[in-house]
Structure 1
């Protein structure tokens, strides 16, 4: 559970956008120190052409990736 509404929204939004293109896990525990990443994504199949509809996010999601949404509170 997250303390900030924006963080929860960003995780859910990324999950919905990326789900048709591969495996999404939000949140996902990371081995080592007790840490947790916001969103883990692994594409269904490695591809040279990322989903055009997602723009930059599609290019980032062409390979397995970690996403950490950030909101500047200032």
Structure 2
């Protein structure tokens, strides 16, 4: 008997519904290639130099974050690859917390900063990016956490 009856039911039900319309694979294993984050930053709680000295960079690095700098304008695949790295790191942090019998809160998870000299409106709209109207950030910065 399966340990997750709902999971088994859902897989069987969806397979029956979808089989007449195409190929269905149940429990397909997805292997991931090794990905490298350009910069993973973890702020030190007590710092001798205040982050304000770094200006916008100090504001961005006030919490744990990944920084992915690009030299040219980015496209949809570059953003997706950055998101894959972020979610892979989330998974790693969750597995580590589970091993240590801890939990990971939303505030413990790093945010992703994609640094690009420009970005198309189509790309921004495709990822539902919004400008921050709070006045806390300069124009062109979209901190969507």
Query: How high is the TM-score relative to the length of structure 2?
Result: 0.24
The structure number with the bigger radius of gyration is: 2
Query: Quick check: which one's strand share is greater?
Result: 1
Tell me the TM-score normalised to structure 1 length: 0.45
Q: Name whichever structure is richer in helix by fraction.
A: 2
